[in-house]
Chains A and B, each alone.
Chain A
Amino acid sequence: MMLAQIRIMARLELCNLLGINVLRFTKDKRKKKRAVMLSVLWVLLIIMLLFYVGGLSWGLVEIGAGEDVPAYVIAISSMLIFVFGILKAGSIIFRKQGYDMVVSLPVRKGAVVLGRFLRMYTENLLMAALVLLPGIAVYAWQTRPDVSFYLCAFLGIWSVPLLPMTGAVLIGALVTGISSRMRHKSLAASTLTIVFVFAIMYGSSSLTSMEGMESLEIMEELSGMVSDMLGRFYPPAVLLGTAIVNGEIGRCLMYTGLFLSVSAVAAAVVSACFQSISRNLYTTAARHDYQMGDLKADTALISLCRKEFRRYFSSSIYVSNTIIGPLMGCVLSGALLFTGPERVKELLPVPVDLAVIAPFLLAGTFCMMTTAATSVSMEGKEWWLVKSLPLTARVVLDAKILMNLILMLPFYLVSEVFLILALKPGLQDSFWMMVIPAVILLFACVYGIAVNLHFPVLDWENEVSVVKQSASAVLGGMGGAVLALLGGVGACLVPKGYSGGYRAVLCVLLLGTAGLMYRKNNRIDLREL
């Protein structure tokens, strides 16, 4: 009975995984064309990922740490699943859409939760396979292991997502559970999620730090240290990785069983509190005590911008996925101020002055995920309102860019103060220190809007599919960060005498391109979206 219910709920969750069901039955040719374009981009990104992980694995083999490759790729995929999982687990497990319908059905809560668990597991399995397969292939190519290795690796791929996903779901449920009891649920959930992510990042960096070792020593000792580091960072990766390398099928089965048991217990715990958390989450307090006061009139742009801010802070997944980058920018700038540039230069041996590279790094953190890139999609089923109002595309899109820039302003100012105090640059470098992040951020906002107008997702059921899984989030949200990275690499390569010219040309080019994109964006007919 329960199994049949789980199967039905899982089928419901999985039938539209990655939007497949909608694509299968839609008659909208434009939607299908977009999906084909998106699939091509995903394939390109996957190829890049395969080469990246394959290259890393090859590097480990070259330094004599070949035996650690499986554990290494298990640790990477687990970390990705865990961190990304925390950011979305609460929204997937305690999804509002369809909640009333689902709980009114004669279905056990456990079946609903397990259906959603299985959906997360399937997504994570794909991610694990993409990271694990190239590493395992490189290792197999080098060592020519026997068939038991392949059996263990196959088993390992299925079991790798279980533990990190379970951890993420438990933290997601905890965050959602705590925030559901608060008045400002969304803000509380965003804050708690960010605190958890930063705590994990800090914890993992402390566990993997190699205190007192200079870079040359690290390289020499690396092969021996990789295993120790992985053991401290994520012991199950070493246990499972060793079992795979040794082809110990019994051990692999045992670990898989163990991981499954942990997941089952976690699912039972989440199922037990599913309804109470959901009830708290979706019961909105209504006071019915409003008394008319004076109302203030504003321009359409200000009013739209205010609406954008309210939209932004109403969604914990929107906030937690977009604010981590700028927060990181502040933290890193602050760390630079307190540790001093000399220590950073020891750890990060770049061939140019830190004052030249720092603005690019800062811009990179600010543009890790811009709000503009998903701001059109986030309108969702309410998009009809904007289309029916007497508003030009320009003012609608300006409000989205303005909101992103105002949101970044305090982070920008704090980071700039930290950076200038830490690096004490000259007048010219101070100027570029302030201008470059601002220009790249402005470019990233306009570019994000352009991508979102090309890949809008307005018929979404869950914000996760917009903020984390849409083409706009991947291509638009990270565009600025990639550009900042390329700009930084360029700054390292340009001879010192031409550094000022390089930065000036780059800024002019970016502003010019942003201007052209801005004009093109504003010419769009919003009715066509």
Chain B
Amino acid sequence: MLIINHLTKHYKGSSKGVTDLSLHVMPGDICAFIGHNGAGKTTTLKCIAGIHGYDAGELRIGGISLHDDPLACKQMTAYIPDNPDLYEYLTGIQYLNFIADIFKVPAGERKERIQRYGDEFEITESFGDLISSYSHGMKQKLAIISALLHEPRLLVLDEPFVGLDPKASVILKDRMRKLCDGGGAIFFSTHVLEVAEKLCNKVAMIKDGRLIAEGPMEEVVKQGNTLESIFMEVVNDVGAD
């Protein structure tokens, strides 16, 4: 579903970025992307979402090159940033309707989906209010609903659990599993390693813009270890080299 081959992206005038990163996320995968602050997680996710260009390498979503046909790739992807800066001058329903228009979701289906997800996340009653009146968690819920609205095949999430209440976190995890059961794929960054370990079947670790470990969760986290201990071990090993 998502193929990253030798992705390199550096910011002008800065040594920060991503170097020669290769990674495959298959249909049905939930892949956690972990690394310390400034390691290059958000840069990678923004490249996949088509927000940033990249210097070298290849990104393919659903078999289509992001470089050759970005619109087709974006049509099957949904991205949620770590801090959802949404259009604060719109109401929740106006925002969702806008997103549905862009992704060409038919009127009947969008109503049914908005109602369903809104009720699940207990935010339907606030859809008539301006987004500027929403709390961080409510904005996060709205961003999640807007991401699910067009039934994407690939979900790209940056710290999706930050700001969510416990119930919403459970619902999101459930939605993520359902999406993957239906043949979709999820690639998300997180600092909550316990969640990653329980939820994901794959993990990728990044340090200073380079991928330092990657693979199925059960292979990376060997018996008797935790993802946290493996992460610390790998990060320190690479740091010592």
Interface residues of chain A, those whose CB is within 8 Å of chain B, are 26-30, 284-290, 292, 294-300, 302-304, 306-307, 310-311, 314-315, 381-382, 384-385, 387-392, 525, 527-528
Q: Does B137 contact A (CB under 8 A)?
A: no
Contact of B101 among A285, A303, A310 (CB under 8 A): A303
Q: Does B90 contact A (CB under 8 A)?
A: yes
Contacting pair B124 A391 (CB below 8 A): no
Q: Given known contacts A288-B125, A288-B126, A387-B50, is B86 in contact with A295 (CB within 8 Å)?
A: no
Contact of A390 among B14, B103, B130 (CB under 8 A): B103
Contacting pair B124 A292 (CB below 8 A): yes
Contacting pair B126 A290 (CB below 8 A): yes
The 7 closest A-B CB pairs, nearest first, are: A290-B128, A314-B89, A27-B13, A303-B101, A284-B133, A390-B74, A286-B133
Residues of B within 8 A of A294 (CB): 107, 111
Contacting pair A289 B49 (CB below 8 A): no
Residues of B within 8 A of A528 (CB): 53
Q: Given known contacts A295-B110, A314-B89, is B133 in contact with A388 (CB within 8 Å)?
A: no
Residues of A within 8 A of B194 (CB): none
A462 to chain B, nearest CB (A): 15
Contacting pair A299 B87 (CB below 8 A): no
A309 to chain B, nearest CB (A): 10
Q: Does B121 contact A (CB under 8 A)?
A: no
Q: 7 A-B contacts, Cβ less than 8 Å apart?
A: A284-B132, A285-B133, A295-B111, A296-B107, A297-B101, A310-B90, A384-B81
Determine the distance from Cα of A476 to Cα of B116 in the docked complex, in whole angstroms.
45
Q: Given known contacts A284-B132, A389-B74, A390-B74, is B114 in contact with A295 (CB within 8 Å)?
A: yes
Q: Does B170 contact A (CB under 8 A)?
A: no
Determine the distance from Cα of A388 to Cα of B52 in the docked complex, in whole angstroms.
9
Residues of B within 8 A of A285 (CB): 129, 133
Contact of A292 among B74, B90, B114, B126 (CB under 8 A): B114
Determine the distance from Cα of A311 to Cα of B51 in the docked complex, in whole angstroms.
21
Contacting pair B107 A307 (CB below 8 A): no
Contact of B128 among A289, A297, A303, A307 (CB under 8 A): A289
Determine the distance from Cα of A298 to Cα of B105 in the docked complex, in whole angstroms.
10
Residues of B within 8 A of A288 (CB): 125-126, 129
Contacting pair A307 B124 (CB below 8 A): no
The interface on chain B, measured as residues whose beta carbon lies within 8 A of the other chain's beta carbons, has a size of: 52
- Interface mask (B26-66 → A, CB under 8 Å = 1, otherwise 0): 00000000000000000000100111110000000000000
Contacting pair B125 A290 (CB below 8 A): yes
Q: Which of B91-99, B198-206, B226-234 contacts A (4 or more CB under 8 A)?
A: B91-99
Determine the distance from Cα of A311 to Cα of B88 in the docked complex, in whole angstroms.
9
Contacting pair B14 A290 (CB below 8 A): no
Residues of B within 8 A of A385 (CB): 85-87
Residues of B within 8 A of A310 (CB): 87, 89-90, 94
Determine the distance from Cα of A294 to Cα of B107 in the docked complex, in whole angstroms.
8
Determine the distance from Cα of A163 to Cα of B6 in the docked complex, in whole angstroms.
62
Contacting pair B129 A286 (CB below 8 A): yes
Task: List B residues 72-88 near A (Cβ within 8 Å).
Answer: 72, 74-75, 79, 81, 85-88
Residues of A within 8 A of B13 (CB): 26-29
Closest to A387 in B: B51
B161 to chain A, nearest CB (A): 20
Residues of B within 8 A of A297 (CB): 100-101, 104-107, 110
Contacting pair A292 B71 (CB below 8 A): no
Determine the distance from Cα of A290 to Cα of B70 in the docked complex, in whole angstroms.
36
Residues of B within 8 A of A300 (CB): 101-102, 104
Contacting pair B87 A391 (CB below 8 A): no
Q: Does B12 contact A (CB under 8 A)?
A: yes
Contacting pair A284 B130 (CB below 8 A): yes
Q: Other than A290-B129, A388-B74, give 19 A-B pairs with Cβ distance below 8 A.
A: A27-B11, A27-B14, A28-B13, A288-B125, A288-B126, A295-B97, A295-B100, A295-B107, A295-B110, A295-B111, A298-B101, A304-B98, A314-B89, A382-B88, A388-B50, A388-B51, A389-B99, A527-B51, A527-B52
Residues of B within 8 A of A384 (CB): 46, 51, 81, 85
Determine the distance from Cα of A60 to Cα of B130 in the docked complex, in whole angstroms.
55
Contacting pair A290 B124 (CB below 8 A): yes
Residues of A within 8 A of B107 (CB): 294-297
Q: Given known contacts A30-B12, A284-B133, A295-B110, is B127 in contact with A290 (CB within 8 Å)?
A: yes
Residues of A within 8 A of B106 (CB): 297
Closest to A380 in B: B85
Determine the distance from Cα of A525 to Cα of B101 in the docked complex, in whole angstroms.
22
Closest to A528 in B: B53
Q: Given known contacts A289-B125, A300-B102, A303-B98, is B71 in contact with A388 (CB within 8 Å)?
A: no
Determine the distance from Cα of A391 to Cα of B110 in the docked complex, in whole angstroms.
19
Contact of B85 among A299, A314, A381 (CB under 8 A): A381
Contacting pair A390 B71 (CB below 8 A): yes
A61 to chain B, nearest CB (A): 51
Contacting pair A527 B50 (CB below 8 A): yes
Closest to A298 in B: B101
Residues of B within 8 A of A296 (CB): 97, 107
Residues of A within 8 A of B115 (CB): 292
A304 to chain B, nearest CB (A): 8
Residues of B within 8 A of A284 (CB): 129-130, 132-133
Residues of A within 8 A of B79 (CB): 388
Determine the distance from Cα of A311 to Cα of B46 in the docked complex, in whole angstroms.
25
Contacting pair B90 A307 (CB below 8 A): yes
Task: List B residues 171-200 near A (Cβ within 8 Å).
Answer: none
Residues of A within 8 A of B124 (CB): 290, 292
B28 to chain A, nearest CB (A): 24
Determine the distance from Cα of A385 to Cα of B52 in the docked complex, in whole angstroms.
12
Determine the distance from Cα of A290 to Cα of B130 in the docked complex, in whole angstroms.
11
Contacting pair A525 B53 (CB below 8 A): yes
Closest to A299 in B: B101
Closest to B91 in A: A290
Residues of A within 8 A of B75 (CB): 390
Determine the distance from Cα of A289 to Cα of B106 in the docked complex, in whole angstroms.
25
Residues of A within 8 A of B51 (CB): 384, 387-388, 527
Closest to B52 in A: A527
Determine the distance from Cα of A527 to Cα of B70 in the docked complex, in whole angstroms.
11
Residues of A within 8 A of B126 (CB): 286, 288, 290
B145 to chain A, nearest CB (A): 13
Closest to B156 in A: A388
A112 to chain B, nearest CB (A): 22
Contacting pair B85 A307 (CB below 8 A): no
Determine the distance from Cα of A490 to Cα of B103 in the docked complex, in whole angstroms.
49
Contact of A391 among B12, B97, B102, B132 (CB under 8 A): B102
Contacting pair B85 A382 (CB below 8 A): yes
B85, B86, B101, most chain A CB atoms within 10 A: B101
A91 to chain B, nearest CB (A): 15
Residues of A within 8 A of B53 (CB): 525, 527-528
Residues of A within 8 A of B70 (CB): 390
Q: Given known contacts A284-B132, A382-B86, A528-B53, is B12 in contact with A29 (CB within 8 Å)?
A: yes
Contacting pair B12 A28 (CB below 8 A): yes
